[in-house]
Amino acid sequence: MAEVRVENLVKTYGAARALDEVTLDFPDGGFFGLLGPSGSGKTTLLRAIAGFVLPETGRVLIADEPVENVPVEKRGIGMVFQNYALFPNMTVAENIAFGLDVRKVGAAEKKRRVTEALDLVQLGAFGARKPHQLSGGQRQRVAMARAIVTRPRVLLLDEPLSALDKALRVDMQIELKRIQREIGITTIFVTHDQEEALTLSDRIGILKDGRLIRHGPPREVYDDPRDSFTATFLGDARIFSGTREADGLRLADGTLVPGAQGATIAVRPENFQLSASEPNAPCRLRAHLVQKIFGGALGTCLLDWQGEVIKVVGRDADFRALPESGPVWVSWQPEHSVTISP
């Protein structure tokens, strides 16, 4: 397998900078999730690594080798895209064998590798079927088998699960991770689903307007987002701004948030507690409960505070004692005030 590195990549389309000096390492054998809003440059970055997009400046290295003069088919890359198209009149096995035929792999070796790929995606009994005889998830697994049968060094996945419904998607996430671990292939995965990225990735990168805003292990980025874009894009957060004082942050309504280390802080919805009576917690606000939303095990409460919305996520059982609406206390522990700006 191979490490992928991009250095100072710039790609412009007219006035738009699809990639704006992106430098990033994708570790050997790792699962890297690329996240960002629509139009932030995720697909362009993937296409630049594959060789479909030629950057104006910067370079791509695979296993320490610059690849600007290496054509797409020689870069050792397997790809699965959102609208993976299988050849409808070929069997599953023929579809998977396609890349081996192109490479003129001998019959015995081809048979062995197709069987191996089918087993890996747990479709051993489906080789003779046609794509229309498969479910969406099974077709997706064929696309995976087809991408890895040529033994690429790097796997690029562009929203490969977005066509699947929620339940199947979750099953396929587990499946994808298993396959990736089993073959240990360097994988770069584009998704707009932040939960998916957090679940699957060893490392994530967040793009915005073609720039790499942040990268690192998912938990690290989630727990310490450092900027308000990352805090609100990756998960949800209430941003509080005010004036820094010796013992905390003074909000516009006069409330002191003790222990806060910045003029702007973020608090995650799951770190708020609600109570009808005044709590002991040092960080607390008086707000107005507007709506309780039932969501199964977890529920959401929407509060109004100074004309702004505070979202609180918690166990539905904990919200049951609260009135449907009216004044409430919202509180949190000082360690859950995350500094966004000093």
Nearer to ligand ATP, 17 or 250 (CB): 17
Taking the complex as a whole, how short is the minimal distance between the CB of residue 44 and ligand ATP, in angstroms? 3
Taking the complex as a whole, how short is the minimal distance between the CB of residue 3 and ligand ATP, in angstroms? 23
Pull the structure tokens for residue 130.
Answer: 């046609």
Nearer to ligand ATP, 5 or 42 (CB): 42
Which residues here bind ligand ATP, judged by CB under 6 A? 13, 16, 18, 36, 38-44, 192
Cβ contacts of residue 106 below 8 Å, gap of 6+?
Answer: none
- Given the structure tokens 């320490």, which residue do they identify? 64
How many whole angstroms separate alpha carbon 301 and alpha carbon 196? 24
Nearer to ligand ATP, 18 or 96 (CB): 18
Q: What is the dihedral of CA 144, 146, 151, 153, to 10 degrees?
A: -50
Nearer to ligand ATP, 84 or 332 (CB): 84
SS3 201: coil
In sequence order, the β-bridge partners of residue 111 are: none
Taking the complex as a whole, how short is the minimal distance between the CB of residue 207 and ligand ATP, in angstroms? 6
Taking the complex as a whole, how short is the minimal distance between the CB of residue 43 and ligand ATP, in angstroms? 3
How many whole angstroms separate alpha carbon 115 and alpha carbon 106? 14
How many whole angstroms separate alpha carbon 184 and alpha carbon 14? 39
Residue 22 near residue 55 (C-beta atoms within 8 A) = no
Number of residues in the chain = 342
Pull the structure tokens for residue 3.
Answer: 């490490």
Taking the complex as a whole, how short is the minimal distance between the CB of residue 138 and ligand ATP, in angstroms? 25
Nearer to ligand ATP, 201 or 271 (CB): 201
Nearer to ligand ATP, 41 or 205 (CB): 41
Taking the complex as a whole, how short is the minimal distance between the CB of residue 37 and ligand ATP, in angstroms? 7
Helices vs. strands in the chain: H and E counts, helices first: 9, 20
